[in-house]
Amino acid sequence: MLNESPVDSLSLQPESVDDAARRAAVVPRLLFQPAARATRAAESVATVCLAAQRLSAFFGDIAAVRDVDLSMETCRVTAIIGPSGCGKSTLLRSFNRMHETVSGARVTGSVLLDGIPIYGDGTSAIAVRRHIGMVFQRPTPFPTMSIRDNVAAGLRVREGKMPSRRDTDDIVEDALQRAGLWAEVKDRLRTSAVAISGGQQQRLCIARALATKPRVLLLDEPTASLDPASTQKVEELVYDLRSTMTIVMVTHNMQQAARVSDRTAFMLNGSLIEVAPTNALFTTPQDARTEAYITGRFG
Amino acid sequence: MVSLTYIAAALATLPLIFILVHLVRAGAASINPAFFMQMPKPVGESGGGMANAIVGTLILISIAATVGLPIGIGAGLYLAEHKGKRLANTVRFLSDVLNGLPSIVMGIFAWQFLVRPAGHFSALAGGIALGVMMIPLVTRTTEEMIRIVPNSLREAALALGYQRWRTSLSIILRTALPGIVTGALVAVARVAGETAPLLFTAFGNQFWSAAIQRPIAALPLQIFTYAISPYDAWHSQAWAGALVLIGIVLVISIAARLATRSRFGSAVD
């Protein structure tokens, strides 16, 4: 039965009580229940989707991120900027518990997804990552899989039954459409995912992250290895995607942050210096260090 | 200077070409259907074949692969996933030592621990001796092939919600598979021609036997026996046996290459 697929239970549609009960039955191991999604109509009352509270991240004894408090609003793009080595990527990787995959790495403080602590007792990192998608600096298509199978890769590891072939095809098409890649690859879905260009590969990775319908999408310098034309496509994509999901993007490109984000956070030496609406941060920074960075005096 | 490297390259390929040409010239005449279908004939009778030795070698290779491949691939996966750990370094070192162990020593070991307690020679003992020889070869190539899989693929899979074990199996191992298969084939080819470990384990058998708890014939043993005999008919049989042995290795290689060929041709390698 089509309706029983777990992917469907995480869909963006408003859900009935039955849906919620069924989801609770289908996904018993999921310890947090995503709240109903805010619509564009509710924009004026921005709700917090993801929040870091006194978050510190360590590599061994060295703190890469110190005492960060940061709230990321639902259906907004939050950009994190700062010089190399300031801890912005580490902060991002703490949001989907990827930080702890490095040996000796640990996190203190908490991160809340819709009010539920992702580092809480009994919450598994696997379940967290299924709700918070991530795209990396370099495109990472799985070379042994076709374009279609790459997009469907995340569906295979969800709880419950794998969606049927036809449902998978629909999900793949939808994800590729949303990633703006469908028209370019629809005639070669079964061919190698590494035979397409770097920019297309990166959008494929975004499609792969979108296919599982995550609540949040984390982008770690997603255009750092792309040419200007591909960069523009990814930026437009990010701009469009925020109508349906919360996006957090790390970038070392200040123009990019200014172009696509609603709010910008500036980090330096592991600490969050300032966070403000993007316009305000770039025009009237409150902190002298922020001003020094955005005017190009260091970093 | 450059021309010297050309000469060296030519000299490096010369032995193989020379061996192949000579094998074909000396052995091809004895290769006929009977060679594959018939048992060895007694001295003085012409014709006959090495059916028992060919089947014996295939059985020994199968036993060796059953023992050597899972252990070798598993150990290689462990070494690649735990690089830098003390235990991993120790395992890698011991594996290299095992790789350098003379094959005759492996034979004595198998005789001591498998043949003597059982009280008789057996195909099983020979296959296990060959399988143990495969372990370090497979371990090393598996580790190296897994290590060249970029870490970014592992991260991408984990970020999608893949469990650790699933990332290792369906992403990392799968990506490294063509290289691992090639390494496994090199190992199979290497042990298929081993003679010393079989001398006092599989022992050889003049009669038909496919039972793994009994002594079994093997091409290298049969080649050895025939080559040191004083009879010309046996000498040409030995050449034919050598040709068939190389042929078996070649067929296994080609078959496995086809089986693991990338679905996307040369775009993925």
A126, A138, A195 member nearest B152 (Cβ): A138
Distance (Å) from the alpha carbon of B171 to chain A's nearest alpha carbon: 7
Min Cα–Cα distance to chain B from A144, Å = 6
State the smallest CA–CA distance between residue A263 and chain B in angstroms.
24
A6 and chain B: CB distance < 8 Å anywhere? no
State yes or no: ipTM above 0.90: no
* Cβ-Cβ contacts under 8 Å, A191 against chain B: 264, 267
Q: Domains of chain B: which residue ranges?
A: 49-261
CA distance B177 to chain A (A): 10
Q: What is the mean pLDDT of residues A95-110?
A: 92
Q: Is residue A279 part of a domain?
A: yes
Which of A161-170, A241-250, A255-264, B55-64 has the least mean pLDDT? A161-170
CATH number at residue A231: 3.40.50.300
Question: Does residue A270 belong to the interface with chain B, where contact is any CB pair within 8 Å?
Answer: no
Which residues partner with A263 through β-bridges? A78, A277
How many beta carbons lie within 10 A of that of residue B123, not counting itself? 27
Question: Is residue A38 over pLDDT 70?
Answer: no
- C-alpha–C-alpha distance, residues B42 and B53, integer Å: 15
DSSP output for chain B: -HHHHHHHHHHHHHHHHHHHHHHHHHHGGG-SHHHHHSPPPPTT------HHHHHHHHHHHHHHHHHHHHHHHHHHHHHHHTTT-HHHHHHHHHHHHHHHS-HHHHHHHHIIIIIHHHTS--HHHHHHHHHHHHHHHHHHHHHHHHHTS-HHHHHHHHHTT--HHHIIIIIIIHHHHHHHHHHHHHHHHHHHT--HHHHTTTB--SS----TTS-B--HHHHHHHHHTSS-HHHHHHHHHHHHHHHHHHHHHHHHHHHHH--TTGGG--
Distance CA B134, CA B70 (A): 10
- The shortest C-alpha distance from B172 to chain A (Å) reads 9
DSSP E strand boundaries for A157-253: 216-220, 246-250
Across the interface, whether the CB atoms of A154 and B268 are under 8 A apart is answered: no
Residue A104 falls in which region: left (phi positive, over 0), alpha (psi -120 to 50) or beta: left
**Is beta strand A263-268 parallel, antiparallel or unpaired with respect to A271-277?**
antiparallel
Give which of A126, A70, A60 is closest to A273, Cα–Cα. A70
Please tell me the total number of residues recorded for chain A in this structure: 299
B96 inside 8 A of chain A by CB: no
Do A144 and B262 make contact, defined as CB atoms within 8 angstroms? yes
Answer yes or no: is A290 within a domain.
yes
pLDDT of res. A34: 39
Query: How many residue pairs from chains A and B have C-beta atoms closer than 8 A?
Result: 71
**Number of structural domains chain A divides into:** 1
Q: Please list every residue in chain B whose beta carbon sits closer than 8 Å to the beta carbon of residue A212.
A: 160-161
A42 assigned to some structural domain:
yes
Residue A209 has pLDDT above 90, yes or no: yes
The verdict on a CB contact (< 8 Å) between B175 and A146 is: no
pLDDT at A299: 55
> Nearest residue on chain A to B170, judged by CA atoms?
A144
Chain A residues closer than 8 Å to B85 by CB: none
State the pTM of this model: 0.76
Nearest CA to A79 out of A229, A281, A234 is that of A281
- Does the domain made of B49-261 have the CATH classification 3.40.50.150? no
Residue of B nearest to A218 (CA): B159
Residue A168 inside a domain? The answer is yes
Contact B159 A134 (CB under 8 A): yes
pLDDT tens digits, one per residue of B29-73: 888 888 888 888 877 777 788 888 899 999 999 999 999 999 999
> In terms of residue numbers, what domain contains A47?
2-294
Between A297 and A276, name the one with better pLDDT. Answer: A276
The residue behind tokens 């709240």 is A35
Per the domain annotation, does A299 fall within a domain? no
Contacts of B176 in chain A (CB under 8 A): none
pLDDT given for residue B262 in this prediction: 60
Q: Is the pLDDT of residue A89 over 80?
A: yes
Distance (Å) from the C-alpha of residue B174 to the closest C-alpha of chain A? 7
User: For the segment A6-30, what is each residue's pLDDT rounded down to a tens digit?
Assistant: 433 333 334 444 444 444 443 333 3
Interface test with A, best of B160, B162, B172, B262 (most A CBs within 10 A): B160
Q: How far is CA A158 from the centre of its chain?
A: 17
Q: Give every residue of chain B whose pLDDT is below 70, as ranges.
A: 259-269
